[in-house]
Amino acid sequence: LFRSAIFSKTDVEDMLNTYHSQVIGTLREALEGFVNLSAVYVAQVLQRAEQYGVNIDADLSAIEDQHSIDQIAALAAQGHVPVSLKSRASNLPSLGAGAPPVSPSGLSPPTDLATAARLQELEQENAQMRERYNAMQLQVSEIAAERSQLAAQLEQAGIQAQTSADAFNQHLGASSQFQERSEE
């Protein structure tokens, strides 16, 4: 394509500058997209952690720490995953670091998300069981009250039956036909 063309030094510099600008623009767009996706991911991680009551201690000064940035860049260049950076004495206190949130079970929340999810699941089951227990207690008290009413009705029916039997015997004893038969 360019074999027959002869370019001057200025033309070559202009082409290289144009190519360089295009590459830098493409890299900036890709990097901006990566940063945006990372920000969304971190926001989701923090939201899930907050949902499960996981306390995350973060050193905000590490964002601007050039030594940490260089350490991460060196590890990335070697193909290693960066290890957590050592905390320094000048760490800023995290929000809500005074007292960790307490779950309904009275235990401090676990730091493992799977354990936190399982704990929440168990607490929900526990709440359901308590609701069922309370409903059964209510049913038992209603049944006991009904049993007492039925016992009182049965006792009253027994008294009425006894009264009726006594009245029947008196009536039968006063009857002239019965007296005549019993004399015979």
**What is the DSSP code string of 104-121?**
TTSSPPPSSHHHHHHHHH
Q: State how far Cα 32 lies from the chain centre.
A: 33
Mean per-residue pLDDT, 24-38:
88
Residue with tokens 């060196």, as numbered in its chain: 74
**DSSP-H helix ranges across 52-112:** 66-78
Q: Which two tokens stand for residue 40?
A: 């969304």
Write down the pLDDT at residue 22: 93
Write down the pLDDT at residue 42: 83
Cα(19)–Cα(10) distance, integer angstroms:
14
> Would you place residue 87 in the very low, low, confident or very high pLDDT band (cuts 50, 70, 90)?
very low
Write down the pLDDT at residue 17: 93
Cα(164)–Cα(171) distance, integer angstroms:
10
Over residues 133-177, the pLDDT tens digits come to 888 888 888 888 888 888 888 888 888 888 888 888 777 777 666
Cα(100)–Cα(54) distance, integer angstroms:
8
What phi and psi values does residue 38 have, to the nearest 5 degrees? -65, -40
The percentage of residues in the chain with a pLDDT greater than 70, rounded to a whole number, is 68
For the packed helices 113-174 and 176-183, what is the interaxial angle rounded to 10 degrees? Answer: 70
Over residues 7-27, the pLDDT tens digits come to 889 989 999 999 999 999 998
> Would you place residue 47 in the very low, low, confident or very high pLDDT band (cuts 50, 70, 90)?
confident
Question: What is the sign of the dihedral through the CA atoms of 38, 43, 47 and 49?
Answer: positive
Q: Which two tokens stand for residue 63?
A: 């964002």
What phi and psi values does residue 143 have, to the nearest 5 degrees? -65, -40
More confidently predicted of 144 and 58:
144
Cα(14)–Cα(22) distance, integer angstroms:
12
Over residues 62-84, the pLDDT tens digits come to 666 777 777 777 766 666 544 44
Indicate whether this model's pTM tops 0.85. Answer: no
Cα(31)–Cα(38) distance, integer angstroms:
10
CB 109 within 8 A of CB 119: yes
Cα(178)–Cα(126) distance, integer angstroms:
72
Mean per-residue pLDDT, 108-137:
83
